[in-house]
Structure 1
Amino acid sequence: MIFLLLLGVPTALGHLYLWRRLVVDTTRPRTLARRIGTLAIIGAFALLMSALVVTRRVPPEYGKFFAWPGFVWLAVLFYLAIALGIAEIPRRILLKRATLAPVAVGAGSVVDPGPVEPVEVVPDPSRRLFISRSVAIGSGIAAGSVVGYGMTQALGDPQLLQVPVTLDKLQKSMSGFRIAVVSDIHLGPLLGRSHTERIVRMINEQEADLVAIVGDLVDGTVAELGEAAAPLKDLVSRHGSFFVTGNHEYFSGHEQWISELDRLGVNPLRNEGLTVAGGIELVGVNDVTGKAYGDGPDFERALTGRDRNNPVVLLSHQPVQVSDASSRGVDLQLSGHTHGGQMVPFNFVVPVQQPSVAGLSKVDDTWLYVSRGAGFWGPPVRVGAPPDITMIELRSAG
């Protein structure tokens, strides 16, 4: 209910704004066009809410029929509202000028002009309709173009990024150790088995030393999405594949997914660690959302018994946990969660909650790498934040 209120109220207001600008301002009162436009806006809102509600209550094979149109419309609504908002100032200036010629009411003769009443400025309905319709059409074209481009980004192959990271404690013999990092795959009603197969193929082509899946793999239960996740069993790397929970795992039955991934050969790290290749301490902590499920992060447990002469590489879904990591001497944290903002201008909002939107940065003595993720949540759209799979190459300082 809280989720629906947080998203439902703003989208309802957004639809009201669209109704004013796209229907009321572009049609004449009590016409068939206005009635049809009003019904279309109401139907679009109902479609969007069904995507938010129905997809959570039916299997993905049925939910996709609501998710595709509903979530695409959500993206169009968002960018259409932005385009119309940007156009407000020029629109108002043009509407002010959209008047008939001034008319002097009650003027007298030339010889005896007599009292002249104030000039009456009469709006020109035809010009006002033309301006409103032009703004509506222009905004629609702009929004549609942005969403269309964003869909090609979201549904295309993730970018393959190569990121070198120098660690002071890394042995020279291990310089060049490569970790394939992927996050936020978001299997669900819009992304299924073929999406997983593509990610597995791209990772295997890199011949990584280790694979790290840093949370938000699924948006649904094992019964619904087990087949979609099955290709993960084909991941190949020299030292194995590892997984930590993201917030969406806790909405999808995290215990079942942990067992399923373990069965597929992807090793869950639940507040625990191990030594990899004799020289890297690989540690994983649960997502902070797990606190509400009695399964929160525990850094003390995860780091207990680790050899601090070796560099510590932490898998943690949310970048915000880097404050705990840096205070405990972690050398490198690998995270996701942010989607890089997914759709501009949300990349400017992410820093309110997280210390990094995407890419490599440093917090005290700890390197933080944040993947933009290989999938998407909600709209199948990415604008200014293409999906990625990252090859982290560890390098020795010596």
Structure 2
Amino acid sequence: MYVLILSGMALCLAAGLYWMIGKWALLYGIDTKGKRFWMIRLGITVFAGSLCLIWSVAGLVEVHLIVLFAIVEFVAFLIRHIAKNHTKEKRYSVFRRLYHSGIIPILVTCLMMGYGSLNMRQIIRTEYTVTSEKLQSGYEVVLITDTHYGTVQNPDILIQKIEEINALHPDIILLCGDIVEEGTTKESMQEAFRILGSLESTYGTYFVYGNHDRQDYRTAVSRSRTYTDEELVRAIEENDIKILCDQWINIGDDLVLAGREDAARIPGRLSSIELLNGVDQNRFIIVADHQPIEAEENAAEGADLQLSGHTHAGQIFPVGYLTEGFGGLNYGEYQEGGCKVIVSSGATGWGFPIRTQGNCEYVVIHLKER
């Protein structure tokens, strides 16, 4: 299925490239009817389309060029029909020269890629405040998710945040999945948890699995893993990080922290009813789930707060808006029944060293008594 989806995407992109090359040739007055041009056009299309099968930055650039080229074509079509009585005006001739140069899609793509690259190189702090009558005192919870360590972001960027986080003197540190992934080497995996193990808090650091941590997608495409489940668990626990996989734990006098198995591991993941069975409903219940799903089910079982990541806030514009449009929880603060949901954009991105939507972040949640 994974290969079929990628192949379908590559075919769609190839069709768009084939059209774009033809349109660009026409803009520059190149004869598009000859057999030689047809072969060159087809060769470029096949080569460029194949780049997308390896999930490359080149493929991302191609997608932006195609979409922007189509937008420019649409705008040009509107202008030609709406402003046909103003063709001799200076502003019309300026647009016509820009259009025929083909520079607009290239310039906008370069600006977006440049911004996205710079945006990936910084991690900001985002803060939320949650109040509840169940709380007898205040807590500071730090949420770190989706570091995808050793892949698309310079590791030093995360390392530099450790001292900053420790200076906050948090009560709980929560690592909410996809800390490492298929592209992480065994050495980088061990390094990631050694670094995160140096985080300091009152009640410790807790980890829940994401859909990438155990390199499930390497298995799906028949590539060997770089570390085993046992090596991953050992690296986590050796650094005094506690794994919560469909388990819950009491913290202090008035908190419960429940960590869920990732939804990618269904079957095998407990239901909300099974997970929260026996939990003291008088305590403030936090559910940590890598993917922002089943919040209504958690709310029905008494959960007060769900913390998630996974979405990267879309990462590549306008994916996040599409997620929201289809009813998914993409980024920020939501209310699902009696449960507050906070979805982080993650400390880095996935797949590409570029982020054109949202910011890389770690999250501080201030829990306060009402």
Name the TM tier (shorter chain).
0.7 to 0.9
Structure 1 residues 6 and 328, CA gap change in structure 2 (3 angstroms):
farther
1:380 equivalent among 330, 350, 353: 353
Q: Equivalent residues in 2 for 1:309-324 (5 A)? A: 309-324=282-297
Q: 1:231 aligns with which of 189, 195, 210?
A: 195
In the alignment, the residues of structure 2 paired with residue 203 and residue 3 of structure 1 have an alpha-carbon distance, to the nearest angstrom, of 40
User: What is aligned with 2:340?
Assistant: 367
Q: Which residue of 2 aligns with 1:117?
A: none
CA distance in 2, matches of 1:274, 1:211: 14
Q: Which residue of 1 aligns with 2:330?
A: 357
Q: CA deviation at 1:236?
A: 1.5
Q: Secondary structure at the residue paired with 2:148?
A: coil
Q: Give yes or no for contact 1:75–1:381 (8 Å, CA) kept in 2.
A: no
Q: Give yes or no for the alignment of 1:288 onto 2:273.
A: no
After superposition, the C-alpha distances for 1:260-286 in whole angstroms (9 at most, x for unaligned) are: 322222211010011112321010011
Contact 2:148 2:181 in 1 (8 A): yes
8 Å CA contact 1:360–1:369 kept in 2: the answer is yes
**CA distance in structure 1 between the aligned counterparts of 2:108 and 2:276, rounded to whole angstroms:** 51
1:255 lines up with 2:217 in the alignment? no
Of 40, 43, 46, the residue aligned with 2:50 is 46
Give how far 1:44 is off. Answer: 3.3
**Closer, same or farther: CA 168–96 of 1 in aligned 2, 3 Å:** closer
* Counterpart for residue 222 of structure 2: none
Residue in 2 that maps onto 1:181: 143
What is the Cα deviation at residue 384 of structure 1? 3.2
Deviation at 1:39, TM superposition (A): 5.1
User: Would you say 1:240 and 2:225 are equivalent positions?
Assistant: no
Number of aligned residue pairs: give it.
343
The one-letter code matched in structure 2 to 1:285 is R
Counterpart check, 1:158 vs 2:117:
no
Partner of 1:306: 279
Cα distance in 1, alignment partners of residues 28 and 346 from structure 2? 41
Q: Deviations over 1:129-155 (max 9, x none)?
A: 967642x21111011111211111112
TM-score (norm 1): 0.76
Shift of 1:324: 1.8
Offset, 1:379: 2.2
**CA 1:16/1:206 → structure 2, altered by over 3 Å: closer, same or farther?**
farther
How high is the sequence identity, in percent, across the aligned residues? 22
Alpha-carbon distance in structure 2 between the residues aligned to 1:181 and 1:328: 23
Partner of 2:89: none
**Contact 1:27 1:33 survives alignment (8 Å):** no
Tell me if structure 2 keeps the 8 A contact 1:320–1:353.
Answer: no
Matching residue of 1:219:
181
Instruction: Describe the shift of the 1:79–1:222 C-alpha distance in structure 2 as closer, same or farther (beyond 3 A).
Output: closer
* CA distance in structure 1 between the partners assigned to 2:354 and 2:159 by the alignment: 20
What's the counterpart of residue 396 of structure 1?
Answer: 369
**Equivalence for 1:58:** none
1:63 corresponds to: none
Partner of 1:91: 76
For residues 271 and 164 of structure 1, do their structure 2 counterparts lie closer, same or farther at Cα, with a shift above 3 Å needed?
same
Matched, 1:339 2:303: no
Contact preservation (8 Å) 2:180, 2:189: no
Write the distance in 1 (CA, Å) between the matches of 2:35 and 2:11: 29
Letter of the structure 1 residue corresponding to residue 133 of structure 2: D
Larger mean CA deviation between 84-93 and 162-171 belongs to 84-93
8 A Cα contact 2:256 2:285, kept in partner: yes
Paired residue secondary structure (2:316): coil
In the TM superposition, what is the alpha-carbon distance from 1:26 to its structure 2 partner? Answer: 3.4
* 3-state SS of 1:160 partner: strand
Q: State the 1:387 CA deviation.
A: 1.3
Task: Give 1:309 shift.
Answer: 1.2
Specify the code of the residue in structure 2 equivalent to 1:152: L
TM-score by length of 2: 0.82
Q: Give 2:239's match in structure 1, choosing from 264, 285, 292.
A: 264
Match of 1:75 among 36, 41, 60: 60
1:4 to 3, 6, 18: 6
Cα shift readout 1:273-314 (whole Å, capped 9, x = no counterpart): 1111232101001111111xx542443443233222111011
* Structure 1 position 343, deviation (Å): 2.0
Per-residue CA distance 1:179-227 (angstroms, 9 max, x = gap): 0011111124323543442343442232211111111222226626324
Tell me if structure 1 keeps the 8 A contact 2:249–2:256: yes
Structure 1: how far apart are the matches of 2:169 and 2:5? 41
> Runs ≥4 in structure 1, deviation > 4 angstroms?
30-42, 93-97, 129-132
Aligned to 1:143, which of 96, 109, 119? 109
Q: Is the 8 A contact 2:152 2:350 kept in 1?
A: no
Cα distance between partner residues in 2 of 1:165 and 1:287: 25
Structure 2 CA distance for aligned equivalents of residues 133 and 205 of structure 1: 56
In structure 1, the gaps of 5 or more residues are 53-69, 98-128
2:229 partner amino acid: E
Q: Is the 8 A contact 2:152 2:352 kept in 1?
A: no
Q: 1:13 to 1:200 in 2, by over 3 A?
A: farther
Give the letter aligned to residue 195 of structure 2: P
Q: Deviations over 1:349-386 (max 9, x none)?
A: 21366642211121111010011111111222222311
Letter in 2 for 1:377: W
Amino acid of the structure 2 residue aligned with 1:272:
Q
CA separation of 1:272 and 1:93: change in aligned 2, threshold 3 A: closer
Aligned 8 A contact 2:287 2:307 in 1: yes
Determine helix, strand or coil for the equivalent of 1:319: coil
* Distance in structure 1 (CA, Å) of the matches to 2:233 and 2:14: 37
* Structure exhibiting the larger radius of gyration computed from Cα positions: 1
